[in-house]
Amino acid sequence: MRQLGSWAARVGVGFVRACVVAAVSMLVPAVWAAAVALGIWWGAGNPWSWLAPVVLVSVGTLALSRPVCRMVRFLVARWTATVIPAGYRQAGPVTRMSTGYWWNGFGYERTRRDALMDQKWRVRWSDPANWRDLRFTAVAPLTAGLVAALPPAGVAAAALGLARPEPAARLAALLGLVVAVAGAPYAWRCVEPVAVRFLRPSPAMALADRVDELTAQRADATVAQAAEIRRIERDLHDGAQARLVGLGLSLATAEKLMETNPDQARTLMRDARAAATASLTELRDLVQGINPPVLSDRGLVDAVRALALDSPLETAVSADLRLSLDPPIESAMYFAVAELLTNAVKHARATRARISVTQDDTGLVIDVEDDGRGGAGLRADGGLAGLRRRLAVFDATLEITSPAGGPTRVRMMVPCES
Q: Are residues 34 and 52 in the same domain?
A: yes
- In terms of average pLDDT, the best of 22-36, 98-112, 328-342 is 22-36
Sheet of strand 102-103, all strands in order from the earlier edge strand to the far edge: 95-96, 102-103, 108-109
Sign of CA dihedral 269, 272, 274, 277: negative
Question: Are residues 369 and 409 in contact, defined by beta-carbon separation less than 8 angstroms?
Answer: yes
For residue 281, the model assigns a pLDDT of 67
268 by Cβ neighbours in 10 Å (0-12 / 13-18 / 19+) ranks as: buried
3-state secondary structure of 102: strand
Mean pLDDT of 259-282: 71
Quick one: three-class SS letters along 372-403? CCCCCCCCCCCHHHHHHHHHHCCCCEEEEECC
For residue 382, the model assigns a pLDDT of 65
Q: Which of 161, 179, 199 is the last residue of a domain?
A: 199
CA distance 255 to 257: 6
Q: Are residues 374 and 236 in the same domain?
A: no
Q: Are residues 231 and 319 in the same domain?
A: no
Q: Are residues 54 and 137 in the same domain?
A: yes
Question: Are residues 246 and 282 in contact, defined by beta-carbon separation less than 8 angstroms?
Answer: no
- pLDDT-based confidence at residue 418 (cuts at 50, 70, 90): very low
CATH number at residue 353: 3.30.565.10
Q: Which of 269, 290, 311 is the last residue of a domain?
A: 290
The residues pairing with 314 across neighbouring beta strands, listed in sequence order, are 352
Q: How many domains does the chain have?
A: 4
Q: Are residues 307 and 280 in the same domain?
A: no
Q: Are residues 187 and 209 in the same domain?
A: no
Query: How far is C-alpha 46 from the chain's CA centre?
Result: 52
- pLDDT-based confidence at residue 283 (cuts at 50, 70, 90): low
Q: What angle do CA 404, 405, 408 make, to 5 degrees?
A: 80
Q: Are residues 353 and 246 in the same domain?
A: no
Lowest pLDDT segment from 44-58, 116-130, 278-292: 278-292
Domain holding 99, by residue range, is 89-126
Q: Are residues 139 and 286 in the same domain?
A: no
Mean pLDDT of 99-111: 80
Give per-residue pLDDT as tens, 136-156.
888 888 888 888 888 888 888
The residues pairing with 316 across neighbouring beta strands, listed in sequence order, are 354
For residue 238, the model assigns a pLDDT of 63
Look at 3 and 96; give whichever has higher pLDDT.
Answer: 96
Mean pLDDT of the chain: 77
Predicted confidence (pLDDT) at residue 15 exceeds the cutoff of 60: yes
Q: Are residues 101 and 172 in the same domain?
A: no
Q: Are residues 98 and 242 in the same domain?
A: no
Q: CB count, 10 Å around CB of 405?
A: 9
Q: Which of 244, 268, 290 is the last residue of a domain?
A: 290
Mean pLDDT of 146-168: 82
For residue 299, the model assigns a pLDDT of 75
Helices (H), ranges, 127-202: 129-139, 144-148, 150-162, 167-187, 191-199
Q: Are residues 177 and 63 in the same domain?
A: yes
CA distance 186 to 175: 17
- In terms of average pLDDT, the best of 12-21, 116-125, 323-332 is 12-21
Farthest CA pair distance, the chain? 131
Give per-residue pLDDT as tens, 289-342.
556 666 767 777 778 888 777 777 788 888 776 666 777 777 778 788 888 888
Give per-residue pLDDT as tens, 174-191.
887 888 788 888 888 888
Instruction: Report in angstroms the alpha-carbon separations of 356 from 318, 348, 353, 395.
Output: 5, 19, 10, 20
Q: Are residues 243 and 284 in the same domain?
A: yes
